[in-house]
Amino acid sequence: YAWQSMLLMGFGSGACVLLGVAATASRPRWYFRLPLVVLASLLVGLFLAWFDWFVPSLWDENYWPPTDVAYVSSVGVADETHPLLIWFAITLVTTSVVAGWLTVATLARTAHTLAHRQSWQRRAARTACFAVSVSIAVFPTFVLWRLLTPGRVPVQQLPIPNAYDTIVAVGDSVEASPFATIESDWDWETVPTTMLAPAIQAIESDLAQLRHVLSQQSEIPLKYTQEDYSNLPFSRISNHRSLARALLSRARLAQLDGDPGRALELRLDTVRLGYVVRRGGLITEELVGIAVSGIGTYYIYMNRDSLKADECLHTSEVLLELDRKKEPFEQVNERDRLWTRIAFGWHAHLQQITDDVSGWSAADGSGAAGAFLREQVTTRLLAVELALRAFQLEHGQFPATLGELVPEYIDHLPSDPFDPSGGPLRYTRTDDGYLLYSVGADGRDNGGAPPEDAAMAMFDNENASDLRLDVLITGTSNATPSATGSTSPEATTDEENDKPDNDSNLDNDNPNNDAGQSDGSTAP
């Protein structure tokens, strides 16, 4: 199938060249000749769109070369219309470029042979011919240069010992323990404690080892070969998910045993776990880590009103420290793109080039970039909200401005990742609490107005709305006092309430669900 597609494209190229030559012929007259050439070019494009699989493989980011008829049929023109439009454009442009170049070359030759032409006319004709020739060669040369320079495999200095290896080993141990039965046969959040306690007791040593290594250096080893692909978190999702659930189940038991301080530390360790298991990895690891951290963040938020002032400040400090130390998304995305080019070769590299030329990018607020921003703004909002609670517990009221929190309750005010000017998060004290929010995807301050569709709040840059913590974590957009900073009992929810979306994403064994869509760079 690959060779067949190559032969078809060779035929199409030759046909377009001949049609370009025909377009410059003297007969028939141009008003007959040009429509016939255009029609013939479209017919060539139709033929190629129907039988070619290379162009659809670039557009839809499928594997190449195709291996069987089933694969070929899945990317054919029967399912998609854009290959037809692409091939129409390719054949028409190719024919037009050939015809244009021949026309200019003919004029240059004519100007050179006619003695009565002035010298500037001859120079202009030759210059035009040269310019057209260069312009034709620029884009193919650019693509060839990009394909020949995919980048070098970076030298990876893994820490010794590497905490990531220990985390994976502990996860495997937890998956082989009685706790795995709790996960598979029961809802781990609501299973009776009489069943949960013995299962957790059996893995206490594993959890202690896990918590110990979370403070050590960790980095995912990458070989920049397709061997890495089999080791991506598609095979590690259940491993990291089991660890997160085990930590939170232990936190649940600690809470019920009257030890909220230990419960808080276990939830914080779940957040730490999400940051550690992504360090040095690709987009897929980033999404898995975001999902794991999101589960821990959810339970910290839902139990925030039971925290003491010192616990609020400690949690806020840890969250901001994790936020400061995590890799920028641009760095993760570039490493993912480099790995894709090296591991999957020229076809994957060509996919990236077509994406770049077409303007499709992971930085447009969707996919993994959107998930990254969601975690960033959620973490910062929660850190500031906990600092506000500590202030309220010690002063009996909320501050008039966020500036009153610095430096006693928070060392600096985190910026709003959605604010074009890099300003801080927005805050207003109200009669029954406060309103804390980010300006959201539209980059404008809309007074904390919740979005109409909470699920699309991260991506909606047209409707006037802002991002609040209750919207980001619970997925609800109804404005209530408890959702905007009240300390009423109704604002606190225990673990046995609704499951966070991040855990549902891990249930699906697909880390890209949290992002809405993947950026398509990890798997070409």
Say how far residue 194 (Cα) sits from the centre of its chain: 41
Contact 323, 404 (CB under 8 A): no
Q: Based on the domain organization, do 140 and 212 belong to the same domain? A: no
Contact 459, 365 (CB under 8 A): yes
Q: What is the reported pLDDT for 84?
A: 77
For residue range 53-101, list pLDDT tens digits in order: 777 777 655 556 655 544 445 544 444 556 778 888 889 999 998 888 8
Q: What is the reported pLDDT for 497?
A: 44
Q: What is the reported pLDDT for 48?
A: 85
Q: Based on the domain organization, do 139 and 184 belong to the same domain? A: no
Domain end point (choices 148, 174, 203): 148
Number of domains the chain is built from: 2
481 has a pLDDT exceeding 90: no
Percent of the chain with pLDDT over 70: 78
Higher pLDDT, 333 or 116: 333
**Distance separating alpha carbons of residues 51 and 294, to the nearest angstrom:** 46
For residue range 10-45, list pLDDT tens digits in order: 888 999 999 988 988 877 787 788 899 999 999 998
516 has a pLDDT exceeding 50: no
Residue range 249-264: average pLDDT?
96
- CB within 8 A of 315, min separation 6: which ones? 264, 268, 300, 307, 383, 386
Q: What is the reported pLDDT for 272?
A: 98
Max CA-CA distance within the chain?
Answer: 105
Least confident of 134-138, 179-183, 491-495: 491-495
pLDDT band of 465, cuts 50, 70, 90: confident
For residue range 183-210, list pLDDT tens digits in order: 887 887 889 999 999 999 999 999 999 9
Contact 249, 230 (CB under 8 A): no
3-state secondary structure of 468: strand
Token output for 401 = 């401005």
Residue range 381-386: average pLDDT?
98
Domain end point (choices 115, 148, 181): 148
Q: What is the reported pLDDT for 1?
A: 54
Least confident of 176-190, 315-329, 483-497: 483-497
14 occurs within a structural domain:
yes
Higher pLDDT, 343 or 312: 312
521 occurs within a structural domain:
no
158 occurs within a structural domain:
no
Least confident of 136-140, 199-203, 259-263, 316-320: 136-140
For residue range 430-457, list pLDDT tens digits in order: 998 999 999 998 899 999 988 877 666 6
Q: How many CA atoms lie within 13 A of 288 on its CB side?
A: 27
Domain end point (choices 148, 178, 196): 148
Q: Based on the domain organization, do 175 and 68 belong to the same domain? A: no
Q: Based on the domain organization, do 230 and 348 belong to the same domain? A: yes
**Distance separating alpha carbons of residues 263 and 220, to the nearest angstrom:** 28
Sign of the Cα pseudo-torsion (397, 401, 404, 409, in order): positive
399 has a pLDDT exceeding 80: yes
Least confident of 183-187, 287-291, 361-365, 390-394: 361-365
Q: Which domain holds residue 495?
A: 163-515
The DSSP bridge pattern shows strands 467-468 and 426-430 to be unpaired
154 occurs within a structural domain:
no
Q: Based on the domain organization, do 425 and 475 belong to the same domain? A: yes
